[in-house]
A and B are shown apart, each in its own frame.
Chain A
Amino acid sequence: MSTNRVHTFCRICEPYCGLLAEVEDGRIVSLRNDKDHPIHKGFSCHKGIQYLRVHQDPDRLNYPLRRCNPRSEERGDFAQVTWDQAATEVGARLNDIVQRHGDKAIAMYTGNPIVFNSGFFANAEALSAGFGAGPRFGALTQDCANKFAGSEAIYGSFLVHPFPDLLHTDYFVGIGCNPAVSHMAFIEISDPMAKLRAIKQRGGKTVFINPRRIESATPETGEVLQIKPDTDFYFLAGLLHEIIFKIGYDGERVGKHAKNFDELIEFVKTWPAERAAAVSGISLETIREIAREFCAAPSASIYMSTGVNQGSQGVLAYWMLQMISLVSGNLGKRGGNLYCVGFCPTAQFTRRKQDQPFFDTEFGELRAIAGTMPGNLMPELLESRQNPVKALIVISGNPLLSIGGEARLRAALQGLELIVVLDIYRSATAELADYVLPATDFLEREDINTLGLGHQLEPHVQYTPAVVPAAGERRDDWWILSRLLQAMGRPSLLDDPQPKPFGAVEAMLQYSGLSLDKLKQLPCQTAVLPEPDPEELFRFGVQNDDGLIDCCPQLFRRGYASAEEHWQGLLAEPKDQLKLITRRTPLMVNSWMHNLPVHKKSVHMTNPLWMNPRDAESRSLFAGDEVRVQTDFGQVQADLVLDETLRPGVVAMSHGWGQSKAYGLSTARRFPGVNVNQLAAVGPGSFDVLSNQAQLTGINVQVIASSP
């Protein structure tokens, strides 16, 4: 028996950790962290390694399925069909729908996993356009749309996100992030905790801002300032106010690279640090001290993540963050915040097309963000009278659990004529589908790490072959969508007798004189690229026509009133108001890995409500109590777990649970937990108009003991 070792990489989150697979007789017998990888040098987390269990999971989809019972029945009765049958039938029904209802009748939803799939992602625009002009939805508006909207307005491209140069920085502020558990988003970084420890070792400092004493804060990294949820914008504005009005800013740098600075000053004037201190739970003195330290450090960098994104002021917070970096002289500077071209400068492909993106709809003025409509309006848009949607194609996504208001969305989905789901599992959403089409997992498809382009701390590009051939009749997502287009009689990648899903990737590699063939010759099929030149931000990042960073985009004015209103609301709140935040535990990633028995241990067998012991005591609640968590929008039952790492007044639950109706997932269904997104506001007026971002954290809740 021969053992074949294949260097590959994980595609669950941004680090793209190197993995080493051992294959015997066409089967993967082990999956480990890859110690030979030139960048990761053996770093990975357990999720990457445990993905082998996803690959081997007996609940995985292997064949195209067609529903035999009406969709009104909660549990799907599915029968195996051939690819030809599935494609022909779906193609005919889509054509019929388009003929009767027009070009906007097919909607699409893309989940997060697809962005780690370069064969699909490089062709995403063409594949999506092939299905017409119906609304597009995605996980994007649930966790990071504010960053896209912010950078598009400031830099002119939604893909420019200057990241903290953690290899050189002397001072790091990390807000609403937990690198030890989530390994950071919008920066491709290997072993973030090692980088954070190194900051302290070289005499620098890290400060975390988070309502929870996160795992990332250790004596070897830095402390957490326990901020009140959803007040990050005020905190950041307070820092900026201190820098501009008290400490002094780098006027020369601002003049050289930016415009509309006077308007920014006007805005910031209205948000002094005193106002931040009044609502954030961080004292005026501390805010001032951080501003002073940030400016005094030889270099300083700043970063925010999902905890801020999912709040109510995510765009404005991201704006303040960019401006702090700019005016303190740290933007585009070694040790500050950087942009990295990597193997291809991609910002130019995503240049802002119009300054005023809003258009009139029956639901008021709306915009798309990176082509994506608000998830919080998904039911309304599907039921639109002006542009009725009749079919939905879901690509590796689980909107039923990811978007708020599960029951409302379920009803809207039930009203559609046709639902087609491409996935590796029969997910909760797939349970509602007419056709469920089996996709490959990351061990079954070739790929390169394209997502990190623009924000790689240690730039490199790795190719992986499919480690093993696809099991059953699983197919790559690009192939499945192309096959459906082909069946509709529309152009697709399959028109070429030798389809080239990696054609676009090859073209990008050429920019650096690379090719897939060249990568295949290198150790771990990986090319290590030079570290970013700090000036790359100004040369390749900024995409505004005049080459200048916009310090005060006109567009943001639409958010000013809501920032003021929210601040007033916070001041008026009762002192004991509980605030719900969402928390990712080490044993989960959204709704991805809920079917692995290995993760169903101790408190992680369900989705508990975590509460500070002081709050429990004052409410006469005890660990293990069953409690009802309720908002104006919904309620869920959960078991109470005491957690003194939470700031008093803050409770936490995790997103991605609520699997009781996922009949195809035997483990997840045995440990269903509740869907916390049922507590979030949905519908018109519930999302940030600037970015379509839903508010999923900092939600006011009531917690009551369930009657025994």
Chain B
Amino acid sequence: MTFVIAAPCVADYSCVEVCPVDCISPGPEDPEFQEAEQLYINPQQCIGCGACVEVCPVVAIYSADSLPVRWQHYAEVNRSYFMRRTKTDDVPRGES
């Protein structure tokens, strides 16, 4: 089960530190890092451990199967963020 970051995210990076598989982007090495207003979870790599949910101060992270209705589309928003990146040959952080 993958997790999804929804609208409330304030990009404070708490979740980035705790994620064991580094699948939350952008991180400090990424060019968008400075301007990022929200972070995204790579659905291909997320192991669904829920560690990030626990530390998010604004309850922005949901498992894909329990996203509140008004943020249903965020599963796609998270996914497409990584599609975009892969197209420009920028391999998402944490890809093995």
Contacts and interface: CB of A to CB of B under 8 A. Distances in A.
A246 interface: no
Interface residues of B, number: 21
A45 interface: yes
Contacts of B55: 587, 601-602, 604
A180 B48 CA distance: 9
Contacts of B1: 193-194, 197
Contacts of A601: 14, 17-18, 54-55
B57 to A, nearest CB: 6
Interface in A655-672: none
A587 B17 CA distance: 13
B14 A602 contact: yes
A602 B19 CA distance: 14
B28 to A, nearest CB: 16
Nearest to B52: A46
A33 B65 contact: no
Nearest to A45: B49
A604 B21 CA distance: 20
A491 interface: no
A586 interface: yes
B63 interface: yes
B47 interface: yes
A181 B49 CA distance: 8
B49 A46 contact: yes
A274 interface: no
Contact of A218 (B14, B49, B65): B65
Contact of A46 (B14, B20, B63, B66): B20
A32 interface: yes
B96 interface: yes
Interface string A160-181: 0000000000000000000011
A605 to B, nearest CB: 10
Contact of B63 (A35, A42, A218, A604): A218
A598 B17 contact: yes
Nearest to A194: B1
Contact of A43 (B14, B47, B65): B47
A49 interface: yes
A203 interface: no
Interface string B11-53: 0001001111100000000000000000000000001111101
Interface string A177-204: 0001100000000000110010000000
A32 B17 CA distance: 16
Given A218-B66, A220-B65, A598-B18, A32 B96 contact: yes
Most buried by A among B17, B56, B66: B66
A585 B18 CA distance: 14
A585 B47 contact: no
A221 to B, nearest CB: 8
A50 B22 CA distance: 12
A96 B20 CA distance: 49
Interface string A583-595: 0011100000000
Contacts of B17: 598, 601
A33 B21 contact: yes
A215 B51 CA distance: 12
B50 A49 contact: no
Given A49-B20, A219-B66, A604 B47 contact: no
A95 interface: no
B65 to A, nearest CB: 4
Interface in B54-69: 54-57, 63, 65-66
Nearest to B57: A602
Contacts of A637: none
A151 interface: no
B65 A44 contact: no
B54 A604 contact: yes
A215 B49 CA distance: 11
Given A193-B1, A601-B55, A604-B54, A45 B63 contact: no
B71 to A, nearest CB: 14
Contacts of B14: 601-602
Interface in A28-49: 32-33, 35, 42-47, 49
B24 to A, nearest CB: 12
B47 A33 contact: yes
A603 B1 CA distance: 24
A32 B94 CA distance: 10
Given A193-B1, A601-B55, A602-B14, A215 B50 contact: yes
Contacts of A42: 47
B48 A193 contact: yes
A46 B49 CA distance: 6
Contacts of A44: 47
A220 B65 CA distance: 6
B21 A219 contact: no
Contacts of B50: 180-181, 215, 586
A125 B86 CA distance: 55
Nearest to A35: B96
Most buried by A among B19, B20, B57: B20
Interface in A527-568: none
Contacts of B48: 193
A45 B47 contact: yes
B51 A587 contact: yes
Contacts of A215: 50
B5 to A, nearest CB: 16
A380 B80 CA distance: 63
Contacts of A602: 14, 54-57
B35 to A, nearest CB: 24
A177 to B, nearest CB: 16
Nearest to A31: B20
Nearest to B51: A46
Nearest to B47: A33
Contacts of B47: 33, 42-46, 49
Interface string A198-226: 00000000000000000100111000000
Contacts of A603: 54
Given A220-B65, A585-B54, A586-B51, 5 more contacts: A218-B65, A601-B54, A601-B55, A602-B55, A604-B54
8 contacts: A33-B21, A35-B96, A45-B49, A46-B21, A50-B20, A197-B1, A602-B14, A602-B57
**Interchain residue pairs A-B with the least CB separation, the first 4:** A49-B20, A601-B55, A46-B49, A46-B20
